[in-house]
Amino acid sequence: RAAIDAALDVLAASGAEGFTMQAVAAQADLSLRSLYNYFDTRERLLAEVFSALVKVSQHEVEVSTPPDSDPMQRLESFVAAHFDVLAAQRRHMALLLALRGVAELDERVHAIRAWRRRTLRQLLRDCSLRGAPLERAAAAAFPLTSFASYTSLTDDLSLDHDEAIKTVSHALRCLALSSAD
């Protein structure tokens, strides 16, 4: 855990280009050899850092989405919880997602995207969408809940965090209602 925390600190301070095993070992107050005992490559460490952020994200979304509430409320809770985590992890997530060609990291990115697709499909299915409307709604909902959409809403459109949540939640509500008709 100390190595993961140190890796997040190094990533935030130095970016991807300054992210070295030596820098992480120094930040974690570990010997380089000890760090390599836990993570045999820089890529493995990056993948584990991403996994740690994803676990927080999934946990927050799951605990913030009340299972006994109205389906539309669950959909809105999903957006709010997801965007809250993205806001908190913004800098780290941007740096990690900018790294391309790191096979283990790419696998983890694909896994979180698959989880988000499954979760959105279930939430939309609970909103009484079935068949083709479900697939169209899920395809549209996926990019609306991405990190790129969040940063675009908050940066390009200068919406504050709560306005971004309301905008996407409203769009998903309209999408679910119009697809159900």
Contact between 15 and 99 under an 8 Å Cβ cutoff? The reply is no
Q: What is the CA radius of gyration of the chain?
A: 18
Helical H runs in the chain? Answer: 2-14, 21-28, 32-38, 42-64, 71-98, 103-126, 131-144, 147-151, 161-180
Per-residue pLDDT of the chain (181 residues; tens, 9 = 90+): 899 999 999 988 988 788 899 999 999 999 999 999 999 999 899 889 888 888 888 888 888 877 788 888 888 999 999 899 999 988 888 888 887 778 888 888 898 899 999 988 888 888 877 777 788 888 888 999 999 999 999 999 999 999 999 999 999 888 877 765 5
Residue pair 123/64 in contact (Cβ under 8 Å)? The answer is no
| Per-residue pLDDT at 136 | 83
- Residue 179, Cα to own-chain centre: how many angstroms? 26
pLDDT value of position 181: 57
Return the closest-CA partner of residue 71 out of 119, 1, 114: 119
The DSSP output letter for 90 is H
Nearest to residue 120, comparing CAs of 137, 103, 133, 132? 137
pLDDT at 9: 92
Q: What pLDDT was estimated at residue 103? A: 83
Q: Which two tokens stand for residue 48?
A: 């584990």
Sequence-separated contacts (24+) of 90-95 with Cβ below 8 Å = 90/151, 91/12, 92/8, 92/11, 92/12, 92/49, 92/53, 93/53, 93/147, 94/147, 94/151, 95/11, 95/12, 95/15, 95/16
Residue 104: the pLDDT is: 83
Could you tell me the pTM of the whole model?
A: 0.80
